Structure 1
Amino acid sequence: MNLNQWFEKGLTAEQYIAGMSVNKAAMNQILEQFSLSSEERERLAPLKGKGLKVIALSEDWCGDALLNNPILLKIADEIDMDVKFLLRDQNLELMDQYLTNGTSRAIPIYIFINKDGEEQAVWGPRAKHLQDLVDQERSKLPAQDDPDFTDKQKAMYKNLVKSYQVEDKLWHAVANSICDKLIG
């Protein structure tokens, strides 16, 4: 399948959100509270009406998706870009073409395509600022063979997801990272 065919196979944002069973409230909270800054809007202005589309490989259980997807949707609204969501676990043929570091099925992955279905940019799964934050928190964990590792790792991710829901500086870090990728 070409990218336009994958796009056509996808769910609209409304369908994706309606089908969510995990993180729906948290994602909707960010969607309601986040607004692009005037600087972000200015940066995006040249892309308005260019016919861009985006395939969002995602899953509702993913903490990064609950942060990144609403930001993507705000950017899409700003530049009149159509968004379609594909569930990663049901679309491994496409996912495996966009592995993180060549090995990981990390999500979300956003594949931006032009009106002809040609790939223009790929973004994901995290903004650099957020990756640095995750790496910093991971460095505080005990060794994997430590009996407390699993509990401490779960607590770390729970705290990160909590910060994703309330820290607008993280929201703008994601928005600017996506802008950087789109604008080049």
Structure 2
Amino acid sequence: MGVNLVQKMGQGLSPEQFVANMTRNQEQFVQWYDQFAWPEGASRTFFENYRTPGVHCVIIAADWCGDVVRNIPVVFRLMEAAHIPTEVLIMEEHLETMDQFLTFGGRSIPVVLFLDGEGGVIGRWGPRPTYVQEPMVTFKSENPDREAPDYQDKLAVARQEIMRRYGTDTGYQRLIVEEIKQILQDI
């Protein structure tokens, strides 16, 4: 991926500090964390037996973001199981780092980065599971003109579909488990 974040390693908050310092959405965040359940299959064993030396996880996030509240509790659970050191960079405090990992040219969080022991970025996930993100990918490709009169209406429709795909329960969490597992297998 070509980006090196060695200078950022150690600058973030621990997962516990991130949750403790949340001024918004803390209760929902903890609820998604507490509701996490391992999907059927060998995923839990994979994470519990993961032993690639030097891998470090850096997450760019903020407590105001709904995708952070939904997705990062799952990432925290996976990193705990895999014993991967994890830290959170608050987006607004690390804009120069955020701007190296834009989505469709915008600051979409969370961004979950996997670094090697020297700080090289060797994996990336986010802001949403692929299936949940598909409506936004389609919207962005079909609506390049942000000034178009119907842009906001079409954006609202894409966001509604994203929420429908998240659903009301924890089913979407399986997608995150699968996608993060694939990234770690490829490292």
Same fold (TM over 0.5): yes
Tell me which residue corresponds to 1:32. Answer: 34
Tell me which residue corresponds to 2:73. Answer: 70
Tell me which residue corresponds to 2:145. Answer: none
For the residue of structure 2 that corresponds to 1:26, the secondary structure is: helix
Given that 1:55 and 1:110 are in contact with CA atoms closer than 8 Å, whether structure 2 keeps it comes out as yes
- Compare the two structures and name the one with the higher helix fraction: 1
CA-atom RMSD, angstroms? Answer: 3.1
Whole-Å Cα distance in 1 between the matches of residues 53 and 37 of structure 2? 22
Query: What's the TM-score, normalizing by structure 1?
Result: 0.80
Given that 1:49 and 1:79 are in contact with CA atoms closer than 8 Å, whether structure 2 keeps it comes out as no
Whole-Å Cα distance in 1 between the matches of residues 81 and 119 of structure 2? 21
Counterparts in 2 of 1:83-162, with a 5 A limit? Answer: 83-101=86-104, 103-132=105-134, 145=149, 149=153, 153=156, 160=163
- Structure 1 gaps of 5+ residues are 139-143
Change in CA separation of 1:169 and 1:88 when aligned onto 2, cut-off 3 Å: same
Given that 1:30 and 1:165 are in contact with CA atoms closer than 8 Å, whether structure 2 keeps it comes out as no
Shift in Å at residue 164 of structure 1? Answer: 4.6
> How many equivalent residue pairs?
176
Whole-Å Cα distance in 2 between the matches of residues 164 and 44 of structure 1? 23
Q: How big is each residue's C-alpha offset from its partner over 1:40-96, in whole Å with a ceiling of 9 and x where there is no partner?
A: 123335533633211100011111111111111011111101111011121111111
Given that 1:49 and 1:80 are in contact with CA atoms closer than 8 Å, whether structure 2 keeps it comes out as no
Change in CA separation of 1:137 and 1:84 when aligned onto 2, cut-off 3 Å: same
Residue type of the alignment partner of 2:118: D
Shift in Å at residue 5 of structure 1? Answer: 2.4
Given that 2:131 and 2:165 are in contact with CA atoms closer than 8 Å, whether structure 1 keeps it comes out as no
Whole-Å Cα distance in 1 between the matches of residues 117 and 123 of structure 2? 13
Given that 1:45 and 1:79 are in contact with CA atoms closer than 8 Å, whether structure 2 keeps it comes out as yes
Change in CA separation of 1:166 and 1:92 when aligned onto 2, cut-off 3 Å: same
Shift in Å at residue 118 of structure 1? Answer: 2.2
Tell me which residue corresponds to 1:54. Answer: 57
Given that 1:36 and 1:74 are in contact with CA atoms closer than 8 Å, whether structure 2 keeps it comes out as no
Whole-Å Cα distance in 1 between the matches of residues 137 and 122 of structure 2? 28
Whole-Å Cα distance in 2 between the matches of residues 59 and 149 of structure 1? 26
Query: What's the TM-score, normalizing by structure 2?
Result: 0.78
What percent identity do the matched residue pairs reach? 25
Given that 2:132 and 2:166 are in contact with CA atoms closer than 8 Å, whether structure 1 keeps it comes out as no
